[in-house]
């Protein structure tokens, strides 16, 4: 049986699918056009549920750069003993998008789960290649640890979460936290169709995929430079290259089947299973990368979001 879009998704996303079919794909390494295309699909103007508030903090990176951090939390008195918190890292192929574009779903997530979210507006490649984006994320994680009393956070209940390139950065951040002996250690990692492996250059889904092999090479090359795909790349830059996953936090990973990242995600999750680390993995047939932004009301998207809410409330 050949791969095809989920029937509900195809119906709901039909206008966008038609537009994409008529739009020429950007050339290899054309970062500017990809930024424009991805930005056109994201709305940075947002409204939040009535029970959620947000503030933008400024965090100093190691080189003095100021990293904006979007903080979302419920308008309720803090619970005694501290609350869980999620450090979030947005997607965009390492080259595009922003924390502001995630504000609307974050507001709903906080309203539904009660878990605080800190979303990092890290610097983008190629202007800021590896390790700058990861260093930004590490600086923010350390800053959050220094502010746990101020924000009523339980330091033993901090998780990391990210989508696409943000999922890759979240996975890399857990490696840094383990190897630098962050204390208390991270409680969980929630990876949504993560971009983990710079050696992935094939596309099993063909025209059904939204992010194809040329997009992938463009993103990884922008982030890692001309050495992308070579043996010179370290696991902090591409987490699929890590030798051992022992000592890493429990993993939640989901990925649509029509996504170029599904094979690397499954391989990564299997390594956690083999290491006896608590692991939850979901593969959703008939859906492409970023599907929830195009079809938020269909049944499968609702199931996906419910599974993510459970993961966000389980540490």
Above 70 in pLDDT, residue 27? yes
Token output for 300: 């499968």
pLDDT at residue 182 is higher than 70: yes
Catalytic (active site) residue 164: yes
Q: For the residues 75-99, what does the mean pLDDT come to?
A: 92
In a domain, 157, yes or no: yes
Q: Is 230 a catalytic residue?
A: no
| pLDDT at residue 5, rounded to an integer | 98
Q: What are the tens digits of pLDDT across the range 115-170?
A: 999 999 999 999 999 999 999 999 999 999 999 999 999 999 999 999 999 999 99
Is pLDDT above 90 for 235? yes
Task: Read off the pLDDT of each residue in 274-286 and give the average, rounded to a whole number.
Answer: 98
Where residue 1 falls among pLDDT bands split at 50, 70, 90? Answer: low
> Which one is catalytic: 119, 121, 164, 215?
164
Contact 214, 235 (CB under 8 A): no
Structure token pair of residue 154:
């339980």
Domain-embedded: residue 1: no
pTM here is 0.97
The verdict on residue 254 lying in a domain is yes
Task: List, in sequence order, every residue forming a beta bridge with 73; answer none if it has no partner.
Answer: 53
CATH number of 109's domain: 3.40.50.1820
Give the number of domains in the chain.
1
d(CA 233, CA 242): 10
Structure tokens at 200: 């992935």
137 within a domain of the structure (yes/no): yes
Distance CA 164, CA 256 (A): 11
Cα separation, 170 vs 90, whole angstroms: 9
Lowest mean pLDDT: which of 79-88, 202-211, 237-246? 79-88
- CA distance between the termini of the chain: 39
Domain annotation covers residue 295: yes
What's the rounded mean pLDDT across residues 97-126? 97
Q: Which of 1-5, 155-159, 267-271 has the lowest mean pLDDT?
A: 1-5
- Is 77's pLDDT higher than 90? no
C-alpha Rg value of the chain to the nearest Å: 18
Q: How confident is the model at residue 76 (pLDDT cuts 50, 70, 90)?
A: confident
Which residues share a beta bridge with 74?
52
Helices 213-224 and 31-40: crossing angle in degrees, nearest 10, is 110
pLDDT at 214 over 90: yes
Query: Which residue spans within 184-305 are E strands per DSSP?
Result: 188-192, 251-258, 279-288
| Residue 315, pLDDT score | 97
> In the prediction, which pLDDT does 44 show?
74
Please give the share of the chain, as a percent, with pLDDT higher than 70. Answer: 100
CA separation for the pair 90, 86 (Å, rounded):
12
Structural domain including 28 reads 7-312
Burial pattern 157-185, b for ≥16 Cβ within 10 A else e, equals bbbbbbbbbbbbbbbbbbbbbbeeebeee
Is 88 catalytic? The answer is no
- Residue 53 corresponds to which tokens in the numbers above? 């508030």
Q: Could you read off the pLDDT of 42-73 as tens digits, one per residue?
A: 877 788 999 999 999 999 999 999 999 999 99
Calpha distance 252→189 (Å, rounded): 6
Q: In sequence order, which ranges of 225-286 are alpha helices (DSSP H)?
A: 262-274
Q: Is residue 2, in this structure, part of any structural domain at all?
A: no
Q: How far apart are CA 314 and CA 117, in angstroms?
A: 15
Pull the structure tokens for residue 31.
Answer: 């970062």
State yes or no: pLDDT of 198 exceeds 80: yes
For the chain, give the longest Cα–Cα distance: 55
**Cβ–Cβ < 8 Å for 173, 137:** yes
Residue 17 has pLDDT above 70, yes or no: yes
Please tell me which residue in 135, 136, 215, 259 is annotated as part of the active site. Answer: 259
């Amino acid at each position: 049986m050949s791969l095809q879009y989920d029937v509900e998704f195809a119906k709901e996303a039909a206008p966008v699918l038609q537009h994409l079919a008529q739009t020429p794909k950007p050339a290899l390494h054309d970062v500017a056009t990809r930024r424009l295309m991805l930005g056109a699909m994201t709305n940075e103007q947002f409204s939040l549920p009535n029970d959620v508030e947000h503030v933008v903090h400024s965090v100093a990176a190691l080189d003095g750069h100021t990293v904006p951090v979007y903080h979302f939390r419920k308008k309720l008195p803090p619970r005694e003993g501290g609350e869980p918190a999620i450090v979030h890292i947005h997607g965009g192929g390492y080259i595009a998008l922003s924390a502001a574009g995630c504000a609307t779903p974050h507001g709903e997530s906080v309203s539904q789960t009660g878990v605080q979210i800190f979303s990092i507006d890290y610097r983008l490649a190629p202007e800021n290649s590896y390790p700058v984006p990861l260093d930004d994320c590490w600086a923010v994680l350390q800053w959050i640890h220094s502010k746990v009393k101020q924000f009523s956070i339980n330091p033993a209940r901090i998780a990391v979460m990210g989508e696409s390139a943000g999922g890759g950065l979240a996975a890399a951040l857990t490696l840094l936290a383990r190897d630098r002996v962050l204390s208390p250690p991270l409680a969980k990692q929630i990876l949504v169709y993560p971009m983990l492996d710079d050696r992935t250059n094939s596309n099993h889904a063909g025209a059904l995929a939204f992010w194809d092999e040329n997009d992938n090479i463009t993103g990884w090359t922008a982030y890692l430079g001309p050495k992308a795909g070579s043996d010179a790349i370290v696991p902090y830059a591409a987490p699929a290259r890590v030798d051992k996953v022992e000592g890493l936090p429990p993993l939640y990973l989901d990925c649509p089947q029509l996504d170029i990242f599904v094979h690397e995600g499954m391989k990564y999750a299997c390594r956690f299973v083999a290491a006896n680390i608590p692991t939850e993995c979901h593969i959703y047939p008939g859906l492409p990368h970023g599907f929830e932004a195009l079809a938020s009301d269909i049944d499968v998207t609702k199931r996906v979001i419910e599974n993510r809410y459970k993961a966000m409330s389980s540490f």
